[in-house]
């Protein structure tokens, strides 16, 4: 029951909503691009009341100081509300908002990514330009390109502490963006302001002073892993969980590989799994049919309702050229501001013959479950349609990625994935994610060196060029690669304790909470278990 109304003042829920709206207004005004996109996971997702903001994000010191003060004030006010209420839903709302405010404030003030990562500012640029390209109103592109020079000038003023690695990644990203822009079918005068602004920014990066070290202090890395990512434990404990995941998945792969191809080690067995048949409708049609099959299975299991596809349609689309600068692989995107789009599963067609991409193609059913049903699309649909307005705007990386990984295992639990080939592919995906998480954690300590980290990924099955490309990127978002395997382990633990034998009930209980911390989720599941 919600706290009883008192004549002494507004109810906790009303006070919380007022604090939340004031905080969201502040963040939406300061960081309109970050808050309107799902590319920046520490920022809340805020849909403007009227149309799309055309301003650029402001990371100047005076604005950061102002936002820091506003977030600190919101944290204190929300903390008081948490202590006042006895209502579990209001408490979960309050704690989710308080943790989001604290995490973003500490990222801005302690991690200071806007002062060290030119790629961050370039990603904002690409996100805004991509949105403008996707808008039928060409005025948005004109406004964005004419005001871009001032945004990149601001970036030069705040990038005061760049590691050389991050500077070099910025220059590499500029080259990739230039290639993307040149591929667009646009008049030269439409692109001239962008090229000019980027050239000046590149000149700045080339002449800027840099430092050799890119590592954050150990205490901040621990804070990120435990609180910002939401693991609830420090790097050492997370590392132990990842090692357990690696050992477990290697055992599963060994047994499944030997069942499929007796006497064959699992690494070679994976390469022998037959590729899917290429249908007349092409690769996109293959993924669309798989998404439909998964939806029908989930409906039959009661995991989703029959009207979900009408309420929140799913699009399966080839990745448009204008998004290639910010998305390099197949991925899911949900844009609440676009009522007609809802959710899109973007497919990046493989380069070269299918035989060169056989592992990715062999896993296409698992990839589809991860991105669509019952993975990201189901999660975001439930969050934006059924969760309280304040909580729905918050995305937790650990919950978000962990749920999508769990979605694959849930399809195994409910019989959609079965047989040794499916078990081998599922375990291989889990294994790679655990190795990625381990490499991410170890890179934050400087051990192993980047070259050795690349080799670890190669030994886990990554292509050498892919491994060499992604390892430096892990340094930009410390701890994020942990989210997949560690989040999966948390969901599996909760499922085995609260959901085994009743997937329908478990999914409903979890998704009705929004992306809250696992401690809050367990408290909710435990409370409902007692009630039943």
Average pLDDT over every residue of 299-323: 86
Residues 6+ apart with CB under 8 A from 432: 460, 461, 462
Between the alpha carbon of residue 168 and those of residues 55, 133, 171, 452, 465, the distances in Å are 28, 27, 5, 20, 17
Average pLDDT over every residue of 499-504: 89
pLDDT-derived band of residue 8, with 50, 70 and 90 as boundaries?
low
Per-residue pLDDT tens digits for 416-443: 999 999 999 999 999 999 999 999 999 9
Average pLDDT over every residue of 185-198: 92
Q: Is the pLDDT of residue 27 over 90?
A: yes
pLDDT at 327: 72
64-68, 337-341, 504-508: least confident range: 337-341
Q: Quote helix, strand, coil % in the chain, to nearest 5.
A: 65, 5, 30
Cα distance between residue 123 and residue 268, in whole Å: 38
Cα distance between residue 494 and residue 525, in whole Å: 8
pLDDT-derived band of residue 348, with 50, 70 and 90 as boundaries?
confident
pLDDT-derived band of residue 322, with 50, 70 and 90 as boundaries?
low
Question: What would the two tokens of residue 287 be?
Answer: 């993924």
Q: Is the pLDDT of residue 126 over 60?
A: yes
Q: Count CA atoms within 13 Å of residue 398 on its CB side.
A: 24
Q: Is the pLDDT of residue 351 over 70?
A: no
- Calculate the average pLDDT of the chain: 90
pLDDT-derived band of residue 341, with 50, 70 and 90 as boundaries?
low
Cα distance between residue 405 and residue 438, in whole Å: 17
Residues 6+ apart with CB under 8 A from 477: none
pLDDT at 216: 95
- What DSSP element (H or E) covers 240? helix 235-260
From 529, 532, 531, select the one nearest 498 (Cα to Cα).
529
Per-residue pLDDT tens digits for 137-170: 788 899 999 999 999 999 999 999 999 999 999 9
From 239, 356, 341, 349, select the one nearest 286 (Cα to Cα).
349
| Residue-wise DSSP of 418-449 | -HHHHHHHHHHHHHHHHHHHHHHHHHTTT-S-
Q: Is the pLDDT of residue 278 over 80?
A: no
Cα distance between residue 269 and residue 334, in whole Å: 36
Q: Is the pLDDT of residue 51 over 60?
A: no
Q: Is the pLDDT of residue 352 over 60?
A: no
Q: Decide: 499 and 506 in contact? Cβ < 8 Å.
A: yes
Question: What would the two tokens of residue 302 be?
Answer: 């009661």
Sheet holding 343-347, edge to edge: 314-318, 343-347, 331-334
């Amino acid at each position: 029951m919600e706290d009883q109304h008192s004549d002494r003042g507004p109810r906790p829920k009303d006070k919380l909503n007022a604090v939340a709206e004031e905080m969201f207004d502040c963040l939406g005004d300061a960081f309109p691009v970050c808050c309107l996109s799902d590319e920046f996971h520490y920022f809340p997702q805020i849909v403007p009341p009227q149309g799309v903001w055309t301003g650029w994000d402001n990371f100047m010191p005076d604005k950061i100081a102002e936002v820091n003060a506003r977030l600190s004030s919101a944290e204190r006010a929300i903390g008081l509300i948490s202590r006042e209420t006895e209502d579990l839903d209001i408490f979960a709302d309050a704690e989710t908002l308080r943790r989001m405010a604290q995490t973003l404030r500490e990222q801005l003030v302690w991690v200071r990514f806007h002062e060290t990562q030119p790629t961050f500012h370039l990603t904002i640029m690409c996100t805004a330009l991509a949105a403008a390209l996707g808008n039928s109103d060409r005025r948005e592109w004109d406004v964005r390109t004419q005001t871009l020079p001032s945004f990149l000038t601001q970036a030069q003023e705040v990038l005061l502490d760049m590691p050389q690695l991050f500077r070099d990644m910025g220059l590499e990203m500029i080259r990739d963006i230039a290639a993307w822009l040149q591929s667009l079918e646009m008049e030269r005068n439409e692109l001239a302001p962008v090229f000019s602004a980027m050239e000046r920014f590149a000149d700045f990066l080339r002449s800027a002073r840099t430092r050799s070290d890119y590592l954050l202090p150990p205490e901040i890395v621990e804070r990120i892993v435990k609180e910002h990512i939401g693991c609830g434990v420090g790097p050492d404990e997370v590392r132990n969980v990842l090692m357990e995941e690696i050992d477990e998945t290697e055992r599963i792969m060994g047994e499944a590989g030997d069942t499929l191809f007796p006497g064959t080690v699992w690494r070679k067995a994976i390469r022998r799994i037959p590729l899917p048949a290429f249908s007349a409708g092409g690769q996109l049609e293959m993924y669309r049919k798989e998404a439909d099959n998964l939806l029908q299975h989930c409906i039959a299991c009661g995991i989703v309702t029959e009207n979900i596809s009408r309420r929140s349609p799913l699009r399966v689309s080839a990745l448009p050229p204008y998004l290639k600068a910010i998305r390099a692989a197949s991925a899911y995107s949900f844009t609440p501001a676009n009522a007609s789009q809802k959710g899109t599963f973007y497919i990046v067609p493989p380069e070269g013959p299918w035989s060169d991409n056989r592992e990715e193609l062999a896993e296409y059913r698992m990839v589809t479950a991860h991105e669509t049903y019952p993975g990201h699309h189901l999660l975001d649909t439930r969050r934006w349609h059924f969760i309280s307005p304040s909580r729905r705007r918050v995305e937790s990386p650990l919950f978000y990625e962990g749920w999508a990984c769990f979605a694959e295992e849930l399809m195994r639990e409910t019989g959609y994935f079965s047989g040794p080939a499916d078990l081998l592919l599922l375990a291989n995906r889990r294994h790679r994610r655990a190795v990625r998480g381990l490499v991410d954690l170890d890179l934050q300590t400087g051990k192993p060196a980047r070259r050795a980290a690349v080799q670890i990924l190669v030994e886990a099955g990554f292509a050498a060029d892919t491994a060499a490309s992604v390892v430096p990127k892990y340094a930009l978002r410390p701890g994020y690669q942990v989210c997949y395997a560690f989040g999966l382990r948390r969901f599996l633990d909760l499922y085995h304790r609260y959901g085994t034998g009743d997937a329908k009930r478990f999914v409903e209980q979890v998704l009705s909470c929004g992306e809250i911390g696992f401690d809050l989720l367990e408290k909710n599941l435990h409370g409902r278990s007692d009630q039943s």
